[in-house]
Amino acid sequence: MKILKKFILYLTVLISNFSFSQIDLDKVPFVAYWSIGDSYDFKITKITQQWKNDTLNKDRVNAYIVNFNVIDSTENSYTIDWTYKNDILNEYNFPKELEEKLSKYDLIKIKYKTNEVGEFIEILNWKEISTMLNSMFKDLIEVEFKDSEENKRKEAIEKIKVISNILTTQEAIENLLAKEIQIFHNPLGLEYNTTPSSYEGEVPNIFDGTPIKNITHIYFEEVDSENKFCIMKSESKIDPDESKKIVINFLSKINPEDKHFTKELERSKFNIIDRNNFEYYYNPGIPHKIESSREILLKLDDTSTKKIETISIELIYNK
């Protein structure tokens, strides 16, 4: 049955690829129709690129496979296991001693809950994940600063504690560590007009809890009601003043003594744009491919820094 479902999805996307772009509905409802035992594999690709004055100085690609498995279904909710191999050792160049310590965090399993239409609610095992992250930070300190002078070691530990206290909260785990899950479920549970639309909204802020305002524009490139497939695109601009204040506040906690750097940031121009491309089977609520990117632009005097982080989620078909 599971193989049949994937085969049908595969045929559907082939049919869509050979069709002319069309929009044959006024509204598109994204609703999850899942069953216990539904299991899909996805390829996750993360690309980080950074430019300084139009010169590319960072270009990193990381890819891994994640399994999406429905382990419970009720009238009001679904429970999902999201399992993947931790690829942190390939993503960063760690000393061999630290690699050995981090190898014990090889497999990550995130158990989370949605409502009956597939909207994300919460991570159920976030405390377990928080404990794991704290343990990783402890290993990092133990290896990286074991030969440092005592005062430098204490200073580094205090800075890492500030970061770990933020990153190990439930909200941070749900919005940073599980960012791909948020992207996966982003359209689910809503009914969209197929005519272009715009709205004001908010995005989570893990640093002080105050949501950040944004403006989002949505439009459909294709809607195929026969195959329950669509291509939806969105672009969001995050309030630059609010986001800059949050960054400055966070950095001042890590480096409270560096007043000059904080003042320099206050003079900067800060822009964030999020772009999403959803190629989705809106029924049964499974993506064919999602590409989500965040572009950050920082300008200070004659220096501009641009960073683009892209996450793609692509369904693996068992042909």
pLDDT at 9 over 60: no
CA-to-CA distance for 303 and 54, rounded, in angstroms? Answer: 10
Is it the case that residue 16 has pLDDT exceeding 70? no
Better pLDDT: 176 or 210? 176
275 HSE (CA, 13 A, CB side): 7
Q: Which of 24-28, 82-86, 164-168, 282-286 has the lowest mean pLDDT?
A: 24-28
Domains of the chain, start order: 2-315 (2.30.230)
What are the CA-CA distances from residue 257 to residues 11, 91, 253 (Å)? 60, 31, 9
- Record the pTM: 0.84
What CA–CA distance (Å, rounded) separates 12 from 14?
A: 5
Distances (CA, A) of 317 to 18, 31, 35, 107, 232: 18, 21, 18, 23, 21
Q: Between 313 and 301, where is the model more confident? A: 313
pLDDT(207) > 60: yes
Q: Alpha helix locations (H) across the chain?
A: 2-17, 88-91, 96-102, 126-144, 150-167, 170-172, 179-185, 240-254, 259-266
Q: SS3 for 207?
A: coil
Report the chain's mean pLDDT, rounded to a whole number: 85
pLDDT in tens, 92-118: 666 677 777 777 788 899 999 999 999
Joined together, the tokens standing for residue 113 give 């809950």
Please give the average per-residue pLDDT across 19-46, as a whole number: 86
